[in-house]
Amino acid sequence: MMDALLKAGYRPEIERAVQQCLASQDLADHETGAVTAEAAAEHGSATAVEDGKRFRLFELSANCIDLNDRQVEVLLAMRQPNVVLFGNLLCDWECDALIESSRPKLTPSRVVNADKGTYELKRDVRTSSGAFFQRGETPLVAAIESRLSRLLGVAESRGEPLQILHYPPGAEYRPHYDFFDPARPGNQRVLSMGGQRVGTLIIYLNDVKAGGSTVFPKIGLDILPKKGCGLFFSYADDAGGLDYQTLHGGSPVVAGEKWIATKWLRLGDYLARSD
């Protein structure tokens, strides 16, 4: 696994993160987004093994996945929590085109208020800007969504709109969960739009000079941005069980800038509400 990461261009320092991950080092809780660290402590660090539930896993059958239009490499894989790093997911011109087409649409990123169900600016938590592309909005977006569906085995209808995010120097997203706590009243609105989120795919659209990693503080894993690579992780099962080990965040960009594309997957077909 380390050989594949190094050949793909990742720095040797990632070996330390992988070793920490394999040793299951449990780090202290960090501030979260949609679901708080206090809620995670209340639920405990439930796992598929401990509670008898099976979280949605990306099952690996080969080290390289043939998607007809390209060979996607598997650079890193974990089962608990389920984390997979893909190489050669997007080519350079696709990454560049997504960045350029999103520039005119960028607005400050918002977070869901779990008590009110509103989308609000929270600059102490999330300091990026972003743009959304509806399903099939452009030929490029349609081609990428089709590729992601084939890769993950999830219908395109279950994906939220592709989001492009820009992080200038100093920008970050403090550790948070991508799923929605069903006990919070404000989350009922977002849950009605396709059910619980079950997985996230982050695609790195550029190389970052320093910082900007995707960090999983509970398991000691730090993924450095690498252009064209994709990071997938899942965190929910059909019965509503949630994996609290998937606390994650985007560390501050120290030098340069960071561009990513994010695709969130739902338990059912995603249907945006206009109210």
Task: Tell me which amino acid residue 206 is.
Answer: N
Tell me which residue range forms the domain holding 64.
Answer: 2-266
User: Is 207 within a domain?
Assistant: yes
User: Is 272 within a domain?
Assistant: no
Q: Which CATH number fits the domain that encloses residue 53?
A: 2.60.120.620
Full pLDDT tens readout for the chain, 275 residues:
444 444 445 444 444 444 443 333 332 222 223 443 333 333 332 332 223 333 456 667 779 999 988 999 999 999 889 999 999 999 999 999 999 999 999 998 777 767 776 676 666 668 788 999 999 999 999 999 999 999 998 999 999 999 999 999 999 989 999 999 999 888 898 999 999 999 999 999 999 999 999 999 999 999 999 999 999 999 988 777 899 999 999 999 999 999 999 999 999 999 986 65
Geometric angle at alpha carbon 63, from 87 and 92, rounded to 5°: 15
User: Is 271 within a domain?
Assistant: no
pTM: 0.79
CB atoms within 10 A of CB 267: 18
User: Is 274 within a domain?
Assistant: no
Beta bridge partners of 215: 222, 249
CB atoms within 10 A of CB 163: 16
H-type alpha helices, the chain: 2-7, 14-22, 37-43, 48-51, 92-102, 139-152, 187-191
Number of separate domains in the chain: 1
User: Is 93 within a domain?
Assistant: yes
pLDDT of residue 115: 73
User: Is 219 within a domain?
Assistant: yes
User: Is 55 within a domain?
Assistant: yes
pLDDT of residue 124: 63
User: Is 275 within a domain?
Assistant: no
Classify 187 as helix, strand or coil.
helix
Scored b (16 or more CB within 10 A) or e, 213-242 reads bbbbbbbbbbbbbbbbbbbbbbbbbeeebb
